[in-house]
Amino acid sequence: MKIKTTNKNIGQRLDKFLVNELPITRSQIKKLIKSGNILVNDKESSVHRFLRLGDIIKVAKTDINKITKIKKLEPNPKVKLKIVFENDDIFIIDKKAGLLVHPTDKMEPDTLANGLLAIYPKIKIVGDGDLRPGIVHRLDKTVSGLMIACKNQPAFDYYKSLFKTRKIKKIYTALVHGKMERKEDLIDRPIARSATSGKMAVRSKSQGGKRALTKYSVTKQFNNFALLQVEILTGRTHQIRAHLNSLNHPVVGDPLYKQKNVKQKLELDRTFLHSTVLGFKDQNGDQQEFTSKMPAKLNNIIKELK
């Protein structure tokens, strides 16, 4: 397969350009580029190459067919979603813990994305052209609470821009181990993915760390735990979990960011982190704010603490 660039493609990044040209995900495109299976002007290229007029991009149909036979998002009406608000542009979903937002390379068939596709088939063409139709941001599998999904491309582009420019209000409730040294604070520590563990960790800018801002306040201090209200001012992967862990106050129930030396353990099959408040100015200029109550399982744990 050959694709020739035109005037409207000048300056586009190779991987982003191909998302709209090929029926595969951006991550799959990146893998093909890095493995030398996508050529630009008969030469191997980088993912971040910026296109010029007349560039000829070659990709083998066999590579695409091999991927698409495996990587195809299917609607799944068995996935039940709690939709707390809906209009012509967006869904506000109260996600339950244990639900993946979109499939991984294992192509799980029962994710939030599969459920969305069953409810609203038109969402298939919305987004960045991958396996995350309409999904502007995500919550980790073991985290619950509010998130946005978009029903059309203009809405997707608008809300994506709000997230990028930090104009979305995102407040979480978290239970962490230990006694907090400060009742409130702003954590300003750059984070990046660790080369050894794969987890996100505090890293200097020279180590690839990107600025991350997390504001918290203590709602209630217990003997060995603290209930926090947490607002993220940036949107890095695992930001809350990595930041609080870096303070030696890991989130209770976190399967990834956990520490052995905690004074008291709680039996919990999920992360005690809940997206409680989501606020933004919609496309009509109206201020919107949604709140979600903590799940009963989390409330019951709070009632038992001293």
**What is d(CA 199, CA 33) in angstroms, rounded to the nearest whole number?**
25
Parts of the chain with a pLDDT under 70: 65-71, 129-130, 195
What DSSP element (H or E) covers 193? strand 191-193
pLDDT tens, position by position, 255-305: 999 877 787 888 899 999 999 999 999 999 999 999 999 999 999 999 999
Quote the pLDDT of residue 71: 67
8-state DSSP, 210: B
Residues recorded for the chain = 306
**What is d(CA 274, CA 145) in angstroms, rounded to the nearest whole number?**
5
Quote the pLDDT of residue 68: 61
Cβ atoms of 147 and 85 within 8 Å: the answer is no
Quote the pLDDT of residue 15: 86
Quote the pLDDT of residue 9: 85
Q: State the catalytic residue, choosing from 130, 140, 185, 188.
A: 140
pLDDT tens, position by position, 138-168: 999 999 999 999 999 999 999 999 999 999 9
**What is d(CA 172, CA 227) in angstroms, rounded to the nearest whole number?**
11
Quote the pLDDT of residue 7: 86
8-state DSSP, 294: P
Quote the pLDDT of residue 119: 97
- Is 140 a residue of the active site? yes
CA distances from 99 to 89, 108, 127, 143, 197 (A): 23, 11, 20, 8, 24
Q: Which domains does the chain have, with CATH numbers?
A: 2-68 (3.10.290.10), 83-164 (3.30.2350.10), 169-304 (3.30.2350.10)
H helix intervals, 80-211:
112-119, 153-164
